[in-house]
Chain A
Amino acid sequence: MYIYDQHDKTLIRERVAQYRRQTDDYLAGRISDGVFLPLRLQNGLYIQRHAPMLRINIPYGMVSATQLRTLANITRKYDKGYAHFTTRQNIQLHWPRLEEVPDILAELAAVDMQSIQSSGSCIRNVTSDEFAGINADEIEDPRPWCEIIRQWSTLHPEFAFLPRKFKIAVTGAESDRAAIQVHDIGLQVFKNSNNEVGFKVLVGGGLGRSPAIGQVIKDFLPAKHLLTYLEAILRVYNRYGRRDNKYKARIKILVKAWTAEVFAEKVEQEWLQEIDSPSTLTDAVINHAKAFFTSPPYENIDPESCETTLQAFAAEHIAFGKWRDRNVVDHKVAGYCAVHLSLKPTGVAPGDVTDRQLEAIADLADRYSFSEIRVTHHQNLVLGDVKLNDLPELWQAAKQQGFATPSIGTLVDMICCPGGDFCSLANAKSIPVAEAIQRRFDDLDYLYDLGDINLNISGCMNACGHHHVGNIGILGVDKKGEEFYQIQLGGSALNDASLGKVLGPSFYAHEIPDVLERILSIYVDQRIEGETFLDTHRRIGTAPFKEFIYAKAA
């Protein structure tokens, strides 16, 4: 993990002092609501339905056991003893008091955590692949680049008042697990035919009101030019992005209006003026960043003897075998694996954890995974470096703490925003819908037979629950004060990214589990051997689903 040096520490300390003074000024009536708004947002503080909400950055999803313990303490001391992991690898407190936020930020700063630019019209926390550095399909570890971007974007003087929020994601693997095609900027780090490291650069992806898939504006950007090129994109956006209508202010609208070709040309012209400026990365700088993300001291483990033991254990414990099939992921180092800690048990809002659970996770990480934890954009956690022979013990410990729900990647491993229960933007609740679905689909064998399905739920069109890119997406809508749910089919945020298409008229919340059951029955009837839900939908289209659902409803 990246370790803060005195510069990083000083900066976040000064940031806390600044925000403390700003909060005092606000409480004393010295600065208005309007002026305070972007100041608090750029420190992560929203005013929500019931209380403020504080979003704390977990840069590219990497968090230490020590940091989790501090978070646990903070939830106890300043909140209601729980926190919520988001779809952008961050963590949120839903009940802090505005006047105590500076104290919370000071406690976070003590363990090198911060909430700088976690909301507001600025460059947000950079996100990445939860398996960075450990997956066999990786070409380049994205994390050093993420850290370089994190520092560059932090308190960037030119880009703190953009037309709208701005999200960057980086992947370095064959399989895109960072959803780079639905970010304002998506970066794929790879090696070209000359073995040089560089980036494929996408712009203009995003969800929200006008969902769009990002378009490539640079096929290969040599790595050293990363920051000058990002700066060129941001400068073009800052100058020409729309500011007259916040629903048309994201970069995707500008890219669409100009076309990707024109946008790329404009960026190129801007970039060439600054190319080779001091912001160009040097080998020394790149190596400095890479030095924080070296391999931990792996032991030599014989995978074959481990496998024999694990098979025997699985034979005695059927549930272990199922858990291993779904929740354990291969590792690039023989004898190791990565383990999902599921935050999706039935009856708990997806991504929610209690203070005690945070501490339990920290303990598990200390014991089994070099004291590091990764947050996924599916709102689960990953222990990245677990020895195969520790799996039985880890499974039992995870089960005890409620993290062993063996459903990763299945229908009930849903992405879900906090929805109308918490969020003042939401049109409809999302958590109760998620729970109703989990209760209906509680037969594991059926879920395993359905295989990999992303079900994503958003409580409004701002799409925090990524409904457009769910294989099945559910969107809460408000019609004359009543909550309804629209269903979309066929979305994906992976390499084959696509936006879902609306099935038809929306449903009441209580109808959703039945409707889902019918959608899935079409899939089961029509699938050809080996097809996932998405494959089948792509082959047969939405029409057969639509006919069946609405014919029956009529």
Chain B
Amino acid sequence: MPKLLKDKGIVDNSWQVLEKDFTGTLPDAPCFVPLDYWLANKDKLQNPKTVGVWLDSEQEPEEIAGDIKNLEHLAVNFPTFTDGRGFSIARLIRHRYQFAGELRAIGQIAPDQLFYLTRCGFDAFCLDALALDQEVDEAHRFEDYLSSFSVTYQASANEQQPLFRRRQA
């Protein structure tokens, strides 16, 4: 199981991500089910501690808007690192639907995108390209990637006020 980057540290990860076309019975372990599976079976999937939902980049967070308050784990997939739709999806999940649980970025993302991901509301990262199991040197610490800039102009998931209001304060 690939490791997880969370709370600025590398932790063990017990969550599986089920295939997008998954059908059948869930494994006896924590897992992210694909959106379609969730929509078809949500009445039976009661335990938010072990069942989360993952969305692909073309899918609509609007479809789970009503379920978000009952979920604790969501994930958004980046099929390629240049597919930026996941940033907007995260923004909606966090900001518009007020999701307070773990929001995990999965798929193809480069370390240099961690800063933007964090600002859009992701707080956990399980990404093929991160090589989370390797030693990192001083110049490549994940916590530095997560906070690449000390100044941001926009309001974001971790900064409610845009800089222009903070400047005025």
Contact = CB atoms under 8 A, between A and B. Distances in A.
A157 B154 contact: yes
Contact of B161 (A22, A243, A278): A278
B147 to A, nearest CB: 10
A158 B153 CA distance: 12
B87 A279 contact: no
A35 B115 CA distance: 16
Contact of A273 (B89, B96, B149, B153): B96
A90 interface: no
B19 interface: no
B69 interface: no
B46 interface: no
A303 B152 CA distance: 47
A157 B83 CA distance: 13
Interface in A1-42: 5, 7-8, 10-11, 14-15, 18, 21-22, 24-25, 31, 35, 38-39
Q: Identify which of B84, B91, B152, B161 gathers the most chain A CB atoms within 10 Å of its CB.
A: B84
B81 interface: yes
Contact of A282 (B85, B156, B168): B168
B155 interface: yes
Nearest to B148: A18
B163 A151 contact: yes
A235 interface: yes
Interface stretch (A134-142, A159-167, A402-410, A421-429): A159-167
Q: Identify which of A7, A22, A162 gathers the most chain B CB atoms within 10 Å of its CB.
A: A7
A50 interface: no
B127 to A, nearest CB: 12
Interface in B88-127: 88-89, 91, 96, 110, 112-113, 115-117, 119-120
Interface SS, A side: helix
B146 to A, nearest CB: 12
Contacts, number: 107
Contact of A152 (B110, B112, B154): B154
Contacts of B150: 10, 14
B151 interface: yes
Contact of B115 (A148, A157, A238, A288): A157
Contacts of B120: 157-158
B143 to A, nearest CB: 14
A158 B88 contact: yes
A151 B149 contact: no
A15 B149 contact: yes
Nearest to B111: A31
Interface residues of B, number: 38
A319 B37 CA distance: 78
Contacts of A161: 81-84, 87, 113
A330 to B, nearest CB: 35
Nearest to A19: B112
B139 interface: yes
Interface residues on A, range: 35 or more
Contact of B155 (A22, A151, A279): A279
A11 B149 contact: yes
Contacts of B161: 278
Contact of B164 (A10, A22, A157, A288): A288
Contacts of A281: 164
Interface in B56-101: 81-85, 87-89, 91, 96
Contacts of A262: none
Contact of B84 (A18, A162, A282, A285): A162
B25 to A, nearest CB: 33
Contact of B162 (A14, A238, A243, A279): A279
B162 to A, nearest CB: 5
Contacts of B116: 155, 157-158, 160
A158 B120 CA distance: 6
A14 to B, nearest CB: 5
A159 B85 CA distance: 9
Given A14-B149, A157-B115, A238-B88, A7 B163 contact: yes
Contact of A239 (B85, B153, B155): B85
A288 B165 CA distance: 11
A29 to B, nearest CB: 14
Contacts of A277: 155
Contact of A157 (B81, B87, B140): B87
A158 B118 CA distance: 10
Nearest to B164: A285
A151 B163 CA distance: 9
Contacts of B82: 38, 121, 161
Given A35-B110, A152-B154, A288-B167, A158 B148 contact: no
B85 A155 contact: no
A165 B12 CA distance: 39
A279 B162 CA distance: 6
Contacts of B112: 18, 22, 35, 39
A440 interface: no
Nearest to A153: B153
A66 interface: no
B88 A154 contact: no
A35 B129 CA distance: 10
B88 A235 contact: yes
Contacts of B140: 25
Interface string A285-303: 1001000000000000000
B164 A156 contact: no
A155 B152 contact: yes
Nearest to B151: A11
Given A35-B81, A155-B152, 16 more contacts: A7-B163, A10-B151, A11-B151, A14-B151, A39-B110, A151-B153, A154-B153, A155-B149, A158-B87, A160-B113, A161-B81, A235-B88, A235-B91, A239-B88, A243-B83, A278-B162
30 contacts: A5-B167, A7-B167, A8-B151, A11-B149, A14-B149, A18-B148, A24-B139, A35-B129, A38-B82, A39-B112, A151-B153, A154-B153, A155-B116, A155-B149, A155-B153, A156-B154, A157-B115, A157-B117, A158-B88, A158-B91, A161-B82, A161-B87, A238-B85, A238-B87, A239-B85, A281-B164, A282-B168, A284-B168, A285-B164, A288-B168
7 smallest CB-CB distances across A and B, nearest first, come from A161-B84, A157-B119, A157-B116, A11-B151, A151-B153, A285-B164, A158-B87
